[in-house]
Structure 1
Amino acid sequence: MRVTTVAASAALMLLTVAGQAHEPGDHAPMQIAQAQAPGAAPAAPAAGGNWFPSKYGPNDTIGAMNLLTPQKVLEAARLVQRGQVYALGVPVGRETPAYPPRFAAVTVMMPDQFAGGIVPSENKVSYADDMFTGWLGVGSQLDSFAHLGIDNTFYNGNKAADFMRTTGVTKLGVESVPPMVSRGVLVNMAKARNKEMLDEGEIITADDLRAAMQAQGVAIRQGDVVLIHTGWVAMLERDPARFGRGEPGIDAGAAEWLAGQGVVAVGADTWGVEAVPFKNPNRIWEGHQILLAKNGVHILEVMDTRALARDGATEFLFVLGQPRLKGAVQAIINPIAIR
């Protein structure tokens, strides 16, 4: 399937360092289109718009995750009343739509077992191994603070030239993200707008989030993980090409407001959390810059929130132990919600 793509500035920065991008060949997935780039209560932003050093200290690397205290974990655990478990990750394969030039492929082999052979042994051992080829920002994913910055400066003032390496980042990698166990909040924007699914480019503002939460009887607390349900994830199965051409999502103001509430992560059932096409095509991925670079708030993409929305869930125990891939800036994940 061929779609029109516009090169991502963040990806281009990395490819400039890494050299020629890998060509996925005949197994390339449909590419995401219409995009140009993918403690105590938080203190107020520094005067003059300065965003580093971080309010958590000049050497901090975990951002808002500092707010995940044992007390917060216990608070979240008390939300479990039914023992009902929800997988929030989607299956990832060769055809999963991905932000260009990303793709993912699994190749299964039976080493040294040719033409139906077995491992030499009396008990006739057979085994299979698999090899992953691709990018880690495919399907349900976690964005680390090394993923996106502002003018080659990332969270807490870290310069790309100082820590960005083709062999893996030396700071801010996904392996250093603490386990994410907290209260999860679902904001059902599809329900708020009385529709099954929001449209591509449909913007969610801070006022929209506040109104939806008030109507749904839920409020954000410090240290929460906030997931936004738009219904868009259904397009993965119904129309993958449409899923990749755009998405509903938050604007910069909503990102600012969420960060100001002291949340540790913001996610959605879309591939980029922000509304695409962008309202102003000359200002792209500002929400990512606000959350990741300026406030140290992680982003969770392609969260399958359908079951939570169907069951009317508004709060739950959220659990994520991401793959600890050393030096990676993203990770394919499957968070769990428990009620």
Structure 2
Amino acid sequence: MKHACLSLFAVAALNTAAIAEDDWYPSKYGADDTKGAMNNLSPEATVKAAKLVKTGKVYALGVVTGPETPSWPGRSFSATVLQTNDGAGGSIGTGKATGHDDILMTYIGVGTQIDGFAHLGIDHRYYNGVSAREFYRSDGVIKFGTENILPTATRGVLLDMTKHYQQTPVKPGTAFTKADIDTAAKAAGVTIGKGDVVLFHTGWMAMAATDPKKFINEQPGLGKEGAEYLASLGVVMIGADTAALEAIPFEKADMPFIVHQTLLAKNGVHVLENIDTAALAADGATEFMFVLGQPRFKGTVQAVINPIAIR
């Protein structure tokens, strides 16, 4: 009996250790925090980022979004344009005003996008350990909606992984580690810091036009170790010119989207997908001012965006 009790205590201790090892909430920013790593934004960082603007060249980092945009299976985009008159000569007032309105029937997760904290979690718990039961509503989440993401004007850093690996594009399934990130950053002459937005250029976006199915189903990207490392540096967003940011095939087949879980749920770092980094990479850009003001659609878990880089 004594030995049986000791065995039970040993098992309990092991289970407790396992739980403690993966104890990811409450957040280091506070048990009630909803901002995540965006707590690292500051007026000082914005002023410092503005000093990076030397030429005034502006880059649109968002892709054109439409019915042909590659997207995850099941997602779709449809637009209907309506005339506000009969289209055959009718107009409004003596100024003969005419015009059009439009209706979008679309998944928000199509094209260039930002993932909010309600998008992906761990066993029905999301950022700061909040249960889906506390915020999920079919007509819009009541917590972590993307309308609450802070407006961002901060330093952006581009890591050109095609140079690091000497591959264009980088091979699918390649998972970026801490060592890869450090080496690429050193080559770029940048030090990644608190409040930064980090973007990866892999050359993979060209696949969207030539092989849309492959563009979605395979891709190089951030690995779990790399995600943990960047989160530890206090970055606020991480993105890439790929549809998922993380490497596919996944590092572990039985742990899909572990990078999303690591960033969104465990660390409160927003994920950016389908970022058009080609022009920045072509110009040899390594740091710039990054600006984002996402549409404030109430209760959405993702948002279609067009971030801006300014050099």
Q: Same fold (TM over 0.5)?
A: yes
Moved more, 177-186 or 237-246: 237-246
CA–CA distance in structure 2, aligned partners of residues 205 and 47 of structure 1 = 24
Cα 1:64–1:120 change in 2 (3 A) is: closer
Aligned to 1:66: 39
SS at match of 1:181: strand
SS at match of 2:216: helix
Aligned to 2:243: 271
Could you tell me which amino acid in structure 2 is paired with residue 82 of structure 1? T
CA–CA distance in structure 2, aligned partners of residues 74 and 315 of structure 1 = 14
CA–CA distance in structure 1, aligned partners of residues 131 and 222 of structure 2 = 27
Matched residue pairs, number? 293
Could you tell me which amino acid in structure 1 is paired with residue 220 of structure 2? P
Aligned to 2:269: 297
Larger radius of gyration: 2
Could you tell me which amino acid in structure 2 is paired with residue 218 of structure 1? V
Structure 1 stretches of 4+ with a deviation exceeding 4 A read: none
SS at match of 1:215: helix
Mapping of 1:1-339 within 5 angstroms? 48-113=21-86, 116-339=88-311
Aligned to 2:13: none
Identity of aligned residues (%): 51
SS at match of 1:290: helix
CA–CA distance in structure 1, aligned partners of residues 179 and 188 of structure 2 = 14
Moved more, 202-211 or 178-187: 202-211
SS at match of 1:317: strand
Shift of 1:159: 0.6
SS at match of 2:154: strand
CA–CA distance in structure 2, aligned partners of residues 318 and 122 of structure 1 = 45
Shift of 1:120: 4.9
Aligned to 1:13: none
Report if aligned partners of 2:85, 2:99 keep a CA contact under 8 Å in 1: no
Show structure 2 runs of 5+ residues with no match.
1-18
* CA-to-aligned-CA distance 1:8-58 (integer Å, 9 cap, x gap): xxxxxxxxxxxxxxxxxxxxxxxxxxxxxxxxxxxxxx9633111111111
Q: Aligned Cα RMSD in Å?
A: 1.4
Show structure 1 runs of 5+ residues with no match.
1-45
SS at match of 1:183: strand
* CA-to-aligned-CA distance 1:228-248 (integer Å, 9 cap, x gap): 000111122233232122111
